[in-house]
Each structure stands twice: as structure tokens, then as C-alpha cells.
Structure 1
């Protein structure tokens, strides 16, 4: 399996990030305008997208990996952990944050992940602290302050539950990004992402079975949104994101992935007409500014 070039990796993570951001906005529409249950949506999107990815893998030369990944006990355990804490963790916390607020806020909070990754790498002594890292952390913290307060120290402009789920989503994304690297060294990303989705969806099925839905009440518009979320906002977004890890460092992927907030904010404000205060735009600019740091500067501390 040929490793993608760095330019291909950049294209993959940017495309995946945009689809992920728009998918979040479409999910918000389903939650708030059509009263779709969060647990049900997360369950079906993981199960369907996961099986689709494994089906695609079945048509490739290395289709034997689909079952081969389970033959090694250590790898099988890693995959289960990745599916539960990484895939399901990212999906559920992100969607819960959207449900309590909106896609723009949830997506921006999720991008505390680069800060968490930088701190983790520093603690593990796998990188050295650079001025770029300090600026990245500063932009993230200042951006989150303005996003959550809209410039007011006395009160939050975002519900507390949305903040809690959003921060947890950032932690899950950091884990997801780092934990996937050794698995990808052995198996194709389609296999890892596909099985992780199936594992996460299967686990959540015990809480909300996918068939517990009055499908006759779903309109053609809802089905269209569901297809978009499952195919583009889940299957392709996760696949491209994790595929990019084969040519980019976890920190590069996470920072470039912050293009996701831009697509989420724009579609939330323009398409769903969500109000966004001046200082929240300032916070958004700070968080998205982290992307430019990586795009314009080669990170000397990254380890491949």
C-alpha cells in the first residue's frame, strides 16, 4: 500500500474537515427542526458508514485485512479501544454538544484538540516547546474565551452542557488522532475506520437500537440530510482525516483539520441563521488562525 504524499495528505484532511463541519450543521438541523434523537443518529451513521467503508475495502487488493485485523489479539484489543474511546467518543460528544448549542460552537470547542495534543507530546517529551506552539495555545485559549463569553466576563453565552460536551469532544479527538497512528502502520485506514465505526455503532445500539424509529414519519428531505451526514459527513470525512495521518504528523493533521470550524460556522450562520456576536467572530478567527500557523510554517518539532 503506497503512502500518500504530503500534498495528498493536505488535500485529504482539508476535504474531510470541510465535510465534517457541514455534516455537523446538517445534524443540528435534524436535532432542532425535526427532533431527531442524538443517540439514534449517532448509531445509524456509525453502523452504516462503517459497513460501507468495509465494503469498499472488499473490492481492493488487500481485502484480506478486513478479517486479518482480528487475528492478532493485541491489535484486536487496540481496535476495540479505538472504536469505543476514539470513534464513538468523538461522535457522541460532538453530537451532544451540537444538540445543546449549535454546530459552530461544538466544532470550535472540539478544536481544543491541538492544544491537548501539544501538551501531551510535551509531557511525553516527544516534542520541544516552540514559539509556534505557544502562539497556537494562546490563540486557542483566547479564541475559546471570546467564543464562550462573547466578550462578557460575567456570563457565558453558551449553555454549560454544550461546553462540557465540547471539551470532552476535543479530548476524544486528541485521543483519536494519536491512538490511530500505530494501527495505521499495520492496516489500511479503511479497515481501521470501518471497524471502529461498526464497533462504536454496535456499542451504542444497546442504548438506542437503530430500528427504534418511526421511519414512515421521515420525509424525503430528512432522508436526504441523513444520506449526506452518513456518506459525506461521516464516511468520507473520517476516512480522509485518518488517511492523512499516513503522510502528516498528528499535530499537523489536527491543526489543518481546524478548517472544519470555518465550514461549520459559515453554514450555521448563513444557512441556519444562527446569531453570532462580534466577539464570537473574533474567537472564531483566533481558532481558525491556528490553521495558518501550520500551513505557512514547517513545524520543526514534529516527529513522523
Structure 2
């Protein structure tokens, strides 16, 4: 059964009517009913197009979080051959909020790192809703170091509300682990590409998204803090999350203008959750294009280009 976001009510009403007519048509062949279904389907598609052409930042936030949007494991299944997960930070434990390993992308060996939020209650709890503890970021740094040693490009798929804010994470050096993972991203002599596929929240995202090329899906968000957290900080009222989202410039379209990201990946009509496979294919094509652009660069050129990209952010020409 399809689910709809709050702002999709007009589409939901049309689709409900279509379902009713289809049930009637199933009981007997009626050209009039079939013709009406066709008209309503066109009306539904137009309503969806109109809605998604003018989404507000808060609506994009809802789309970025919606159930059914493809997660890390979906991209691995759709894009990577022979994926071999590698676990543990070699210091404390395994953190399943960040998943990483080696595989082949279009015939080329690569290192994959990304947050996994989980699909149901059990998997969400196991992956801690994609919010990593320090050992997750130390694992990411370990895998990036491995990739650098064996000359493997690094692909990061980012989808997290942020790093886990628990006391145990702070006691084990959350900030230091995030900083070291970010530093490892910057020091890589191999190309790295990051894609914000859902939420890109705070340092939890930056820790694996400090890449030569940073791409975003059309309706994803990338922000210093979640709208709810920002509203709590600014107004001591998390219910003003919509106001925070509107003013924080968190959408792919805004961030491309500021030069914080390098490209936007178009999503299927109505968002990636309506056609996950199409979104995965488009993401794969964008990653391949980004890696191809850096195919002839030396290790020093890769590092210099990455450093220049981040040093240029916020500077006036």
C-alpha cells in the first residue's frame, strides 16, 4: 500500500479515486471507466510534477527521510559486484551505523563507505538509525587508509541525521574520531566521491563526505545540524524546525549555488522512493562520470584539487 507525505494530499486523493475505479473495472470491462482512469492518471502525474517542482526546504527534508527511499545496502545491491564488507575499527568494536568494504564498480575495484539507517524496526536498531559512534568513524578512516594503500577510489554514500550524541560516544572521543576521518578524506591520494543520498547531517556526514566531488540527490539535504536541532539551539523550540529548514539553505539547489557541492543528481518524478531503481541507476552514472573526470590525475593532483575545492568555499572572487 502506498504512503503519502502530508503535502501530497492532493495526489493521494486522486490516486484513491483511481484505485476505486480500477476495482470497478476489474469486475467488468467498461470503456468509460478505463477512459476516466486514464484522465485521472494524467491528472495525478501533473499534480505530482507541480508539487515536486516547487518543494520547500522543509518538504525536501521530509522527502529525504521518507520510508522507501533507497539506503546504502540498496545502492550496493544495484551498483556493486562482489561487495565484501569489512568490520571493526581495530580499537574498540564494530559499529553498524557505518558500513564499509571493497567491491567492483563497473569493473573497477573500489572502497565503499556509507551510513545505513535500516529498513524496519530491528535493522534500524541494529544500525542505530545511521548515527555512528566513534568506532564507526575510526572504521571509515581505517578503510580509507587501506584504499589509499592499494590505490582504490573511495565512494561514500551519506545518509545520517548526524553522529550519535550519546554520553558513551563522547567518552570514547566522538569529536576526535570525526576529525581524524575528515583528515583522512583530505589526505587521500586516490579520488573520492561522496553522494548525499538522503540526509547529510553535521560532522557525521562531513567525516566521510570531504571528497573531490560531492554530489547530492535532487531532494536530499546537507546541513550543519538537523532542522530540529537548529530550532532548539536558535529558539529553544524544536517545533520551529520548518522555520530553521527554510532559513538554513540546506537544499541541493542552494548548496550548488554556494559551491559547497559539485552536482545534483535528478530523482524520478515524486522522489527516489517512488522509483528506487531509477534513482540508483542515475546515482551510478553520476559517480562513474565523477571518477572519469579524475582518471588521469596524479596522487598530488588529486590532493591539491580536493584542498583547493574546500579552501575556495566562502571566498569571494
TM-score band by shorter chain is under 0.3
Structure showing greater Rg = 2
- TM-score where L is the length of structure 1: 0.24
Structure number having the greater strand percentage = 2
For CA contacts below 8 A with separation 6 or more, give which structure has more relative contact order.
Answer: 1
More helix by share: 1
TM-score under structure 2 length normalisation: 0.23
